[in-house]
Amino acid sequence: MDKHINIRALWNSNVKRDWENALNNFWNLVRPENIELEKELNSLDVNRVKKMNANEFYNFLYDKYFVSKYTAKNRLATTRKQLSKYKEQGKLVELASIHKEIFNPNTRSIETVKKIRGLGVAGASGLLSILFPESYGTVDQFIIYALRKTDEYKDDITIAKMNPLSIKTSEGEYLECILRKKARELNSQFNTTEWTPRKIDMILWSVGR
């Protein structure tokens, strides 16, 4: 694959190496100071997170996930300030309740995770993507910008109407369906099970920029 391949060409590619190279390129665009943390979260033991109590889950969000998700210092500060209210107001029990819902397949959703202070659709989907990469990818502005460049979705009315900086929950779910669909297509095409919505979002983030 030409390292400068654009998302339009890649989205139509039936060459496995093209997709593998695009996925590898993700790591070239991660800030050097975040590489170690990103790799840690990319191979996260979901059962460890599931067993966390409220305080442990809070620390995981504050020290790990928010640092990874919000790389702009001012954004990290404002979102952490929102998250810290659980401790300041003695409401860790609320976070514990959300944690329980996240690990219940019947209540797991972007809407559920959005209840965590400091998280919007992008942040909520991002957390789901590292916990359940086989079912979720991160849906943010970069995913929208990238999909708009593909032949398949350049005229998609729903995507055209989206505000990349203010994604609605229903729009986030719509984008998740697209990531799942592409993962299924690649797995079928290449006779494998390795492709996930999470990997598709990593590719869209890197190649679509």
Query: Cα separation of 124 and 66, whole Å?
Result: 11
Interval 66-76: pLDDT, tens: 999 999 999 99
Q: Which residues contact 209 (CB under 8 A, 6 or more apart)?
A: 29, 142, 146
114 has a pLDDT exceeding 60: yes
Interval 159-200: pLDDT, tens: 999 999 999 999 999 999 999 999 999 999 999 999 999 999
Residue range 150-160: mean pLDDT, rounded: 98
Long-range contacts for 52-56 (Cβ within 8 Å, ≥24 apart)?
A: 52/99, 53/96, 54/92, 54/93, 54/95, 54/96, 54/99, 55/92
Query: Cα separation of 174 and 53, whole Å?
Result: 32
Query: Cα separation of 69 and 75, whole Å?
Result: 10
Q: How confident is the model at residue 208 (pLDDT cuts 50, 70, 90)?
A: low
The mean predicted confidence, pLDDT, of the chain is 96
3 has a pLDDT exceeding 60: no
User: According to the model, what pLDDT value does residue 5 have?
Assistant: 78
Tracing tokens 């079912």 back to the chain, one arrives at: 135
pTM of the model: 0.94
